Structure 1
Amino acid sequence: MDFELSEEQGMLRDTVREVLTKTYDVETLRKVTDTDLGWSEKVWKSLAEIGILGLTFPENEGGMDAGPVEFTSVMTELGRALAPEPYLDSVLVPGSLLGLADDATRAELRTALASGELLMAFAHTEPGDRWPEARVETTASADGVLNGTKSLVGHGDCAAKLIVSARDDKGVGLYLIDADAEGVTRTPYRTHDRRRGAQIEFTDAKATRLGDGDASQTIADAEVGIQTALCAEAVGAMERSLDLTVEYLKSRKQFGVTLSSFQALTHRAADMYVQLELARSLSLYATSALADGIADPIIASRAKLQICRSARLVGQEAIQMHGGIGMTAEYPIAHYVSRLTAISHTLGDASDHVTRLAENVDSYDMLSVG
């Protein structure tokens, strides 16, 4: 199986890398993430101009009709640059959920997302939820009135429209509502990796249902896509973490020689590389499955488990081999490790995914010895 990018896919990756590299160094990144918004509107506009925001949408909806290989390539570059722009939360996820909307609504909103004029967010997780369980205690009446609370809404602080999961007489539905509608209260927050989010309360808030039936499978498929995207982002972050660590070992001197002269440290850097390649392999596996039209939660869990394990080792080794400077805000490694930690705990940590895999072992996964 060929996992090499095509010429066009490689050009896409290189274009995104060029845009982000020109914008972000550690000082600029700190300044941008310290603002109230937490990301750069200038970068967002640039991503819209080169077609990244509409990448996965059909051409008649302002997009490029690309697939998982392309959007995961973008996520990898966002991870490498540690770019805080809400591509996943505000475009990819809500854009995919809009597949349930009627043709006119879907085309209008996706076109606005692709142009960068509209930001959306998916409000699903509720207080007390632990992945993979989502109770969905938010309710929707027959006429679409929402009541309930959603926590951990990624970039819900800046979204203009929300897609909200709520329980109704058909099961679990997805509802579209303006973020500043009457009855909607947002409490913004910052996460330890300098990203943004919000807790959102709905009190008799009028919304519009997307689609007719139960949306549970649509939500489950979206989670597989989110996990796959996060795996790709983590691979990019680990790549850059390893690069920075190797550069430091080659330049930092101790006892009159560079740190790279010490065999024990080069062996540990090699271990980091092995973990990176394991993570990359499983990330490509999950991406390949999505590209084949398979939204398999078991495949996603396999990939996410390896990402969690690799991110922990790569992050810890990067910090330790940098020494004290690795923990300072002025140096990028600490920020990469913080982001990798956040990814590792989004939609299930290592323990959660081990549990899911163990509970879904089938006969073809078993091996008899003797």
Structure 2
Amino acid sequence: GKGGLALGINVIYSFIGGVFSTLCLILFSTPIANFTVTFNAPEYCMLALFGLSMMIAVSTGNVLKGTILGVAGILLSCVGLDPLLAVPRFTFGSVDLLAGISFIPVMIGMFGIGEVLYQMYSRNRAEEAAEMKARKVNLALGRVLPSFKEFKELTIPTLIGAVEGTVIGAIPAAGGDIASIISWGNAKKMSKHPEEYGKGSIEGLAVSSTANNAVIGGAMTTMMTLGIPGDSVTAILIGSLTMYGMQPGLKMFTENADFTAKIMLLMLLANVVFLIFGLVTAKASAKVLNVSQPTVWTAVCLLCVVGSYALNNNFFDVIVMFAAALLGFVCKVYDFPTGPFVLGLLLGNMMEANFRRALVMSHGNLMTFVQRPVSCVLLIATILAFSWPVIKNIIDARKGSARKAG
């Protein structure tokens, strides 16, 4: 019933994240690039493991179920060619599985058609009619801008999310999905109201929106300074720049300094235009929720099928999407959190490949993960992430005992 406010928060904090990361690109592009270029297999392995530790945060109270699905996602990430030996694994002779299972069709299926199937399964016409009536009232009176109190409470979590998103974006192979999940999980741990996360939390939405757009400046930093794509979008940009005779890397800041400056200014301008257009059309966009459920379901299903096929022009991705939709539906029915599964599928291959590379480089010495400073810090952060729920329970128990004693 607060569609206008949800869209308003999304627009405002996406703008803040985008501007923050663009300013970081302008001011700190070379230091950030020099930092990420020191990353090797141990650092990438620990980064993936740290991302996987967010399974606890996104399990929404069902830690055991979330861990089971997370491990299933990691196992599914092993399908395809072995990252070091290029030997087919779990492909069963299928050529389509040689490249592995793409996580985008899986996400489209689980969170798109899977949700549609669940809504159809749990549909109650009387409740639906009452909800549609309530939506019209709420949307008619809904506000788009957060209050000053809400804006003040969101300042620190979103600032942390912006920093996390920028740093993660600067790391090759990372992206908005990883940044949003990690930032959302960390914000939930630090939040005064973690029970609201996953149930319409304004703070969770703001942090995710900030981190998602903050990735752009970090990814552009890695691409423009080192010539290494930070994500799939910057990989396309590298190809585009090459077509025009420009070589991404340090030359972008010397031979093509004017063009590089224009890109940075256009990124700032794009965020400003995005903010204005988003706020102006927020209420109109929210009224799309007044469309009947069957119409929405049909549109979502069509877009999911077209989107899955358009990724690689491969019908196999559509099959994967429908399989993931069935899994997502079953998970919703039996209350299994789907976030850990996507995390495992997304980061499993990255963790495995770099873990094995690190062992090859160190001749099987596991101490390599502790001896390298960045890797050691990430390992400590991972241990703390896994331990935090236990530590928090102990602290809460002691506080409860102290109150009773008082």
The normalised TM-score by structure 1 is: 0.25
Instruction: Return the index of the structure with the highest Cα Rg.
Output: 2
Q: Return the structure number with greater helix share.
A: 2
The normalised TM-score by structure 2 is: 0.23
- RCO higher in 1 or 2 (8 Å CA, sep ≥ 6)? 2
